């Protein structure tokens, strides 16, 4: 028999997978799970994410036993059960029985397929060699430029990192500590055991906030000083605003979303930090006094975050890249127009695509005579991560022994 409560979580996971097939992200579907207890909501999210991380592998196993392509909802039931048994170690009897019940709950087509679901999954439960199957491949629109930039071996190690998923990283306020985590060389703290964030020590006291170790580096590259006027363009979700404020800077955080700014205000209050929050399109915003420095974490493809957002390859096809490239260039030009001579700008994107990173900086240098890239050594980073143009390129397959990092590109520019 299935464990008590797990059927609700499985049903929730199937709803999330349906949403992804409809073009929604996992993060956008909290309402789909609202009726479930919090524990089932969390388990549903984890199950859906694992299915998406291992969908190619599950389909490869299922193809050995399925003679005709099942309807998408039935295929999701089969994938969910396959991943539960072969990846998560679920007991075959309970998982198969639950999958049959889930199939019967899908209406007439699911009821008709329930016998097939039972027979196929009993064979799948005896499958050998799951661990030998290759990780989920990047979609072609992303894999091709990754291979072109760093080679086939790098693409495979990035895919392996995506399959592993992401641990929980924390950025600590200066002067605070966190016991029980792994101290990373760059200053972040990493937790490898799943945890409820709000129940962790120091949360209520505002001692830290959740932020991937790679995402914490653009502010460290900017090197904010106490009292400096710093603009954080496109500020949400706000981790970098918190870093800037914790360094003692006078921060103005600009974002177009009122909802995201509200969450940022709540995190500032929890952490006892202050910043001026402005709801505006970053391209339209212009301060009365030129800032000393600007952080531009530009809108991008977010392809560097697949290890924590495994739904992304199933929702995007690369068609928006051209528009993003144009927007990023406009934002760089606008940010530079806000700076006075001697001011500095850190440009960052959580992208694996060189067109959004290295190429953007090369193009900006050609458009702006007197603009230079300042190569800075950051504590805990590898010199090999510095690009020939002076930027910092991070990839998910870096730090494999520590659990990897998000893919990022960042560069510090100085306007003379």
Cα separation, 70 vs 76, in Å, equals 9
- Residue 3 clears pLDDT 60, i.e. is over it: no
- Residue 4 clears pLDDT 60, i.e. is over it: no
252's tokens = 């103005």
Domain boundary among 132, 167, 201: 132
Mean pLDDT of 222-248: 96
Mean pLDDT of 227-242: 96
Residue 158 lies in a domain: no
Residue 192 lies in a domain: no
Residue 77 lies in a domain: yes
Contact 407/352 with Cβ under 8 angstroms?
yes
23's tokens = 């073009």
Percent of the chain with pLDDT over 70: 99
**pLDDT band for position 286 (50/70/90)?**
very high
pLDDT, tens only, 141-195: 999 999 999 999 999 999 999 999 999 999 999 999 998 899 999 999 999 888 8
Residues 94 and 238 in one domain: no
Lowest mean pLDDT: which of 23-32, 226-235, 285-294?
23-32
The predicted pLDDT at position 195 comes to 81
Residues 250 and 380 in one domain: yes
Cα separation, 70 vs 116, in Å, equals 10
194's tokens = 């799943």
Residue 302 lies in a domain: yes
pLDDT, tens only, 310-340: 999 999 999 999 999 999 999 999 999 999 9
DSSP helix/strand/coil, 244: helix
- Residue 1 clears pLDDT 90, i.e. is over it: no
Bridge partners (DSSP) of residue 229 are: 250
Domain that holds residue 263: 212-415
Residue 202 lies in a domain: no
Active site residue 234: no
Cβ-Cβ contacts under 8 Å for 229 (sequence gap 6 or more): 249, 250, 252, 289, 291, 292, 293
- CATH code: domain of residue 33: 1.10.940.10
Residues 118 and 224 in one domain: no
**pLDDT band for position 6 (50/70/90)?**
low
DSSP 8-state secondary structure symbol assigned to residue 103: H
Residues 78 and 226 in one domain: no
Percent of the chain with pLDDT over 90: 94
**Which residue reads 């700008």 in tokens?**
345
> Looking at the 3D structure of the chain, how many domains does it have?
2
- CATH code: domain of residue 337: 3.40.50.150
Domain boundary among 97, 132, 167: 132
pLDDT, tens only, 334-390: 999 999 999 999 999 999 999 999 999 999 999 999 999 998 779 999 999 999 999
The predicted pLDDT at position 376 comes to 79
Q: Can the peptide bond before residue 72 be classed as cis, meaning omega within 30 degrees of 0?
A: no
Question: Higher pLDDT residue, 4 or 120?
Answer: 120
Q: Which of 234, 271, 300, 350 is catalytic?
A: 350
Residues 304 and 398 in one domain: yes
The predicted pLDDT at position 2 comes to 42
pLDDT, tens only, 82-130: 999 999 999 999 999 999 999 999 999 999 999 999 999 999 999 999 9
Residues 238 and 120 in one domain: no
Residue 344 lies in a domain: yes
**pLDDT band for position 415 (50/70/90)?**
very high
Residues 355 and 232 in one domain: yes
Residue 242 lies in a domain: yes
The predicted pLDDT at position 401 comes to 94
Q: How far is CA 77 from CA 11, 18, 62, 186, 269, in A?
A: 9, 11, 11, 42, 43
Domain boundary among 70, 100, 132: 132
Cα separation, 258 vs 239, in Å, equals 16
The predicted pLDDT at position 245 comes to 98
Residues 217 and 319 in one domain: yes
200's tokens = 């962790």
Residue 157 lies in a domain: no
């Amino acid at each position: 028999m299935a464990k008590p409560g797990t059927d609700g979580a499985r049903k929730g996971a199937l709803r999330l997978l349906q949403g992804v097939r409809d073009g929604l992200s996992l993060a956008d579907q909290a309402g789909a799970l609202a009726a479930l207890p919090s524990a089932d909501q969390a388990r549903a999210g984890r199950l859906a994410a694992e299915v998406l991380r291992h969908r190619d592998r599950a389909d490869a196993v299922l193809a050995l036993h399925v003679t005709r392509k099942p309807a998408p909802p039935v295929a999701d039931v089969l994938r969910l059960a396959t991943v539960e048994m072969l990846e998560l170690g679920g007991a075959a009897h309970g998982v198969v029985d639950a999958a049959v019940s889930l199939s019967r709950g899908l209406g007439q087509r699911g009821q008709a397929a329930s016998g097939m679901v039972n027979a196929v999954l009993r064979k799948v439960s005896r499958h050998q060699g799951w661990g030998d199957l290759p990780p989920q491949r990047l979609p072609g629109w992303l894999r091709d430029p990754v291979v072109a930039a760093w080679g086939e071996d790098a693409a495979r190690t990035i895919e392996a990192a995506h399959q592993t998923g992401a641990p929980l990283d924390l950025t600590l306020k200066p002067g605070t500590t966190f016991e029980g985590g792994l101290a990373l060389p760059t200053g972040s703290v990493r937790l490898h055991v799943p945890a409820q964030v709000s129940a962790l020590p120091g949360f209520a006291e505002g001692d830290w906030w959740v932020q991937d170790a790679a995402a914490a580096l653009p502010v460290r590259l900017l090197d904010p000083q106490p009292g400096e006027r710093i603009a954080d363009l496109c500020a949400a979700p706000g981790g970098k605003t918190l870093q800037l404020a914790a360094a003692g800077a006078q921060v103005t955080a600009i974002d177009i979303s009122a909802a995201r700014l509200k969450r940022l205000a709540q995190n500032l209050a929890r952490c006892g930090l202050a910043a001026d929050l402005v709801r505006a399109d970053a391209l339209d915003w212009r301060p009365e006094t030129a800032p000393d420095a600007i952080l531009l974490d530009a809108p991008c493809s977010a392809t560097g975050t697949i290890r924590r957002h495994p739904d992304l390859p199933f929702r995007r096809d690369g068609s928006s890249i051209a528009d993003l490239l144009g927007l990023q260039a406009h934002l760089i030009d606008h940010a530079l127009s806000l700076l006075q001579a001697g001011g500095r700008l850190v440009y960052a994107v959580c992208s694996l695509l060189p067109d959004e990173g290295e190429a953007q900086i090369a193009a900006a240098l050609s458009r702006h005579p007197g603009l230079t890239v300042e190569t800075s050594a950051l504590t805990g980073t590898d010199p090999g991560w510095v690009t020939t143009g002076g930027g910092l390129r991070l990839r998910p397959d870096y730090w494999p022994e520590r659990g990897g990092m998000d893919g990022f590109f960042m560069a510090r520019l100085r306007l003379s």
